[in-house]
Amino acid sequence: MAFVITSPCMQEKAADCVDVCPVDCIAKGEDQYYIDPDICIDCGACEAVCPVAAIYYEEDVPEVEEKFIQKAIDFFKNN
């Protein structure tokens, strides 16, 4: 399980999450930031500081945003 960044990040890309992540597991993509699910330790720091509430614990991702779970997996597979 890990935290997942969803669509509100695409308009914002504030990167506050990057600064607080204690294991450096957040990477910048072309259209949004991504959390590496293999490195994320589930501390929730990113969720707490996101100014647009784009970050959810994987189990709590709203149905309409679920595609972002796979999008993050694919991002780290290809980068």
Partner 1 sequence: MSDALRRLEILMGDTLQILDHMKVNSVHNDILRTIKHSIKEQNNKVEALSKHTGEQRIQSAVSMTKQLHAINTKVQQLETQLMEEYKQATGNQIESYEQMAFEEQVEQKETYHNKIDYLSATKIQENINRMNEVLYSIISSS
- Note whether 39 binds partner 1 by CB under 8 A: yes
Q: Does 14 bind partner 1 (CB under 8 A)?
A: no
Interaction between residue 51 and partner 1 (CB under 8 A): no
* Distances, alpha carbon 23 to alpha carbons 45, 46, 69, 78, in Å: 11, 11, 19, 20
Whole-angstrom Cα distance, residue 74 to residue 60? 20
Residue 43 touches partner 1, criterion: CB under 8 A: yes
Beta bridge partners of 28: 33
What DSSP element (H or E) covers 15?
none
The DSSP bridge pattern shows strands 26-28 and 3-5 to be unpaired
* 54 is a contact residue toward partner 1 (CB under 8 A): no
Smallest distance, partner 1 to C-beta of residue 64, A:
26
Does 22 interact with partner 1 (rule: CB under 8 A)?
yes
What residue ranges bind partner 1 (CB under 8 A)? 20, 22-25, 36, 38-45, 48-49, 76
